[in-house]
A and B are shown apart, each in its own frame.
Chain A
Amino acid sequence: MGDKAANFNPDVFKKTAEEKSNARLKMWLEICAHCGLCADTCHFYLANERDPKMMPAYKAKKVLETINKKNKFDEDRLDDFYETIYGECTMCRRCTMFCPFGIDVASIISMARSLSASQGKVPKELLKAVEGHLESGNQMSITEEEWVDTLEWMEEELQEELPGATIPIDKKGADFLYVVNAREPKFYPMDISQAAMVFYLAGADWTMSRKGWDVTNLAMFMGDIAGATKIAKMVRDAAEELEVKRVVVTECGHALRSLQFESPIWLGRDHQFEVVHSVSLFAEYLREGRIKLDKSVFANERCTYQDPCNVSRNGGCAQDGREIVKYLCEDFVEMEPHGEYNYCCGGGGGFIPMAGAFKERRLKSGKVKAEQIKATGATICITPCHNCYDQLRDLSKEYELGIKVLSFKEMFEEALIIPEELKAKEDDEDEE
């Protein structure tokens, strides 16, 4: 069981349920014919010995029963509801692809999470990250000074190899603003220098921002839509102040969903910029010949591609990832199924940051993914999403897959062909 509801109040719950139950949600909940087609589409169902309680239709029914005014609502019911909506669904939307009525269980669960949040009953690790984000402007409470210092440091490191490369900050009117996940400056800063390397070699006109640079939005997963709106606004404000044409999102899945699809609704209008995921930009650069890769670098490895749900299925970028792979891998094997029909890794929907209490379930539901990967015989699994990345590394240990998990940027760092004239000269180093 999770933590106690911080402010349990059945009246608030019912009132919020009424506010959030729009016609579409009510229709979905009412037209579900319980046909069972969704059962086999769900990785929780498959990994939990086909427990009927793991069927998406069952979970949707539980939401309906909980918000039904005729049913008694107490803390026990809330506890049970909480376990289902946070612990048994990653909101990956795979079931929707197969539902004859196109019922969007992810939206139902998302609404249900906002009801739980109205009672202060949310995973505590998510709450910590969200509170930190609202206070500091990023989910890891990095100060502006530390952020800028890290960018300058990564620029210096990059210039040791590529003297002309820069990491521009607050460049007004640039073609695009590049936004990241706070884990990058905090623990994985090479993600930033790798991106800067790609942009430099492609001759891009880009910038980063002092503010509104963390594009993650864990409030969305927590069910705190007011908080999610504030967080999304930080990025929107930064992009619109800098008057960029596009915002390019790092290799992160939920950030794309939040910024591109959800936040215009929360914020009440379209953005004044286009939102593009890294995979789409990288595919564009390769297609146009702006960057070139040496395919021989990974010639001795068999690669497969993990489609992040929020990039491939929900973001419409399944083909972009595959286009990149053509330039990068000699031996590439698809998982089955793949593309928009691929299974969730089990780490989505906030499961990775929800941490401890949800870890066992996360590893268990990841069994489906582990089996998919095993069947490919791959030695490298590529994924452009931080949550997939961490989950796959955990799955590799848990199910002894023996794979390397890599982002596109990590592979590019090895495989990018750098024109001689851009490389650091040996003499320059001697003079230092």
Chain B
Amino acid sequence: MATVDHMGKTFEIDEDGFIDSFDSWCPEWVDYVKASEGIQELTEEHWKVIHVLQDYYQKHGIAPMVRILTKVTGYKLKYIYELFPSGPGKGACKMAGLPKPTGCV
């Protein structure tokens, strides 16, 4: 596992660039990931998606499907892709500290 330092925090990351454990997540992590995800400035909308992902993951142990994400946040599908250019499965899950989703993604 590789280690990265950012804003005074140290993170262990896997080969896909996901944080090693959900418990190590902190807001500084989001700041670290945003550049590689093509996000210039974090907005309230980004945080809303991140928090919804985290709540769902804590309850169900997997990432929600994008339908649930749109329902809970009230955002349109296209808007979620605008917020997270690499998509809700890759970019948004990575920022929220979830593990890389399983399967063909």
Residues of A within 8 A of B (CB): 125, 128-129, 132, 139-142, 146, 149-150, 153, 157, 181-183, 185-190, 216, 218, 252, 352-353, 355-357, 359-360, 386-387, 390
- B12 to chain A minimum Cβ distance, whole angstroms, is 13
Q: Does B94 contact A (CB under 8 A)?
A: no
A252 to B104, CA, bound (A): 10
Q: Closest residue to B81 on the A side, CB-wise?
A: A190
Q: Does B4 contact A (CB under 8 A)?
A: no
Grouping DSSP codes into helix (H, G, I), strand (E, B) and loop, the A interface class, with mixed when no group exceeds half, is helix
Q: Provide the residues of chain A in CB contact with B39, threshold 8 Å.
A: none
Question: 15 new A-B pairs (CB below 8 Å) besides A149-B67, A353-B103?
Answer: A125-B102, A132-B103, A139-B103, A139-B104, A153-B70, A182-B103, A186-B66, A187-B89, A188-B87, A190-B77, A216-B104, A218-B104, A355-B15, A356-B16, A359-B16
Q: Does B88 contact A (CB under 8 A)?
A: yes
The 5 closest A-B pairs by CB, nearest first: A187-B89, A356-B15, A129-B103, A139-B103, A359-B15
Out of A128, A142, A355, A356, name the residue touching B65 (CB < 8 Å): A142
- A195 to chain B minimum Cβ distance, whole angstroms, is 15
Q: Closest residue to A151 on the B side, CB-wise?
A: B67
Q: Provide the residues of chain B in CB contact with A355, threshold 8 Å.
A: 15-16, 100
Grouping DSSP codes into helix (H, G, I), strand (E, B) and loop, the B interface class, with mixed when no group exceeds half, is loop
- B85 to chain A minimum Cβ distance, whole angstroms, is 11
A186 to B92, CA, bound (A): 13
Evaluate contact between A181 and B67: CB separation under 8 angstroms: no
Q: Closest residue to A394 on the B side, CB-wise?
A: B16
Q: Among A140, A141, A142, A157, which residue has the most Cβ atoms of chain B within 10 A? A: A140
Q: Closest residue to B90 on the A side, CB-wise?
A: A187
Evaluate contact between B101 and A187: CB separation under 8 angstroms: yes
Q: Does B7 contact A (CB under 8 A)?
A: no
Out of A141, A149, A252, A386, name the residue touching B62 (CB < 8 Å): A141
- A221 to chain B minimum Cβ distance, whole angstroms, is 10
Q: Does B55 contact A (CB under 8 A)?
A: no
Q: Does B105 contact A (CB under 8 A)?
A: yes
Evaluate contact between B15 and A360: CB separation under 8 angstroms: yes
Out of A129, A141, A187, A352, name the residue touching B66 (CB < 8 Å): A187
Evaluate contact between A140 and B67: CB separation under 8 angstroms: no
A356 to B100, CA, bound (A): 9
Q: Closest residue to A397 on the B side, CB-wise?
A: B36
Given that A183-B89, A356-B16 are contacting pairs, would A146 and B104 also be in contact in the complex, using a CB cutoff of 8 Å? no
Given that A141-B62, A153-B67, A359-B16 are contacting pairs, would A187 and B104 also be in contact in the complex, using a CB cutoff of 8 Å? no
- B11 to chain A minimum Cβ distance, whole angstroms, is 16
A125 to B77, CA, bound (A): 28
- A25 to chain B minimum Cβ distance, whole angstroms, is 28
Q: Provide the residues of chain A in CB contact with B62, threshold 8 Å.
A: 141
Evaluate contact between B102 and A129: CB separation under 8 angstroms: yes
Out of A142, A149, A187, name the residue touching B105 (CB < 8 Å): A187
Q: Closest residue to B68 on the A side, CB-wise?
A: A146
Evaluate contact between B16 and A186: CB separation under 8 angstroms: no
Q: Provide the residues of chain A in CB contact with B67, threshold 8 Å.
A: 146, 149-150, 153, 185, 189
- A163 to chain B minimum Cβ distance, whole angstroms, is 18
Q: CB-CB contacts of B63-85 with A at 8 A, as 1s and 0s?
A: 00111101000000100000000
Evaluate contact between A386 and B104: CB separation under 8 angstroms: yes
- B89 to chain A minimum Cβ distance, whole angstroms, is 4
- A202 to chain B minimum Cβ distance, whole angstroms, is 24
Out of B15, B88, B103, name the residue touching A140 (CB < 8 Å): B103
Q: Closest residue to A362 on the B side, CB-wise?
A: B15
Q: Provide the residues of chain B in CB contact with A188, threshold 8 Å.
A: 66, 87, 89
Evaluate contact between A181 and B104: CB separation under 8 angstroms: yes
Q: Among B14, B62, B102, B104, which residue has the most Cβ atoms of chain A within 10 A? A: B104
A387 to B66, CA, bound (A): 20
A216 to B103, CA, bound (A): 10
Q: Closest residue to A128 on the B side, CB-wise?
A: B102
Q: Provide the residues of chain A in CB contact with B103, threshold 8 Å.
A: 129, 132, 139-140, 182-183, 216, 218, 353
- B23 to chain A minimum Cβ distance, whole angstroms, is 19
Q: Provide the residues of chain B in CB contact with A216, threshold 8 Å.
A: 103-104
A187 to B98, CA, bound (A): 15
A91 to B70, CA, bound (A): 38
A189 to B88, CA, bound (A): 11
Given that A129-B103, A189-B66, A218-B103 are contacting pairs, would A157 and B15 also be in contact in the complex, using a CB cutoff of 8 Å? no
Evaluate contact between A189 and B77: CB separation under 8 angstroms: yes
Given that A190-B77, A359-B16 are contacting pairs, would A182 and B66 also be in contact in the complex, using a CB cutoff of 8 Å? no
Evaluate contact between A140 and B101: CB separation under 8 angstroms: yes
